[in-house]
Amino acid sequence: MSAMTNMRCEEVVEHLLTFLDGEVEEERRSLMERHLEECRSCCSRADFELALRHKIREVAAKRPSSGLSRRIREIIDRF
């Protein structure tokens, strides 16, 4: 019974990226959410992955438009 309701850490880690993408099945997602609430090691791993993704997205978003955003900031600075 507990095997049905509790996921193992390896299982959570295996599906973590899919989970963070929001592409994991509904049933698995609720099991993972419960696991992450109770498991500190998986929770900090999820936090790390989230922070990493945020950073990557930030850098990726900045790179192509850095010239444009600099110009916009220069314009704003003039006022």
Give residues 40-59 in contact with Zn ion (rule: CB under 5 A): 42
What is the spatial distance between Cα 6 and Cα 56, in angstroms, rounded to a whole number? 32
How far apart are the C-alpha atoms of 30 and 1, rounded to whole Å? 16
Give 51 or 72: the residue with its C-beta nearer to Zn ion. 51
Three-state DSSP class for residue 25 = coil
Q: Is 39 in the site for Zn ion (CB under 5 A)?
A: yes
What does the alpha-carbon distance between residue 66 and residue 70 come to, in Å, rounded to a whole number?
Answer: 6
In the complex, least distance from residue 16 CB atom to Zn ion, rounded to whole angstroms? 10
Binding residue for Zn ion (CB under 5 A) from 6, 9, 44, 54?
9
Helix axis angle, 26-38 relative to 9-20, nearest 10°? 120
Applying CB under 5 A, the span of 15-23, 33-41, 47-55, 61-69 interacting with Zn ion comes to: 33-41
Residues that bind Zn ion (CB under 5 A): 9, 39, 42
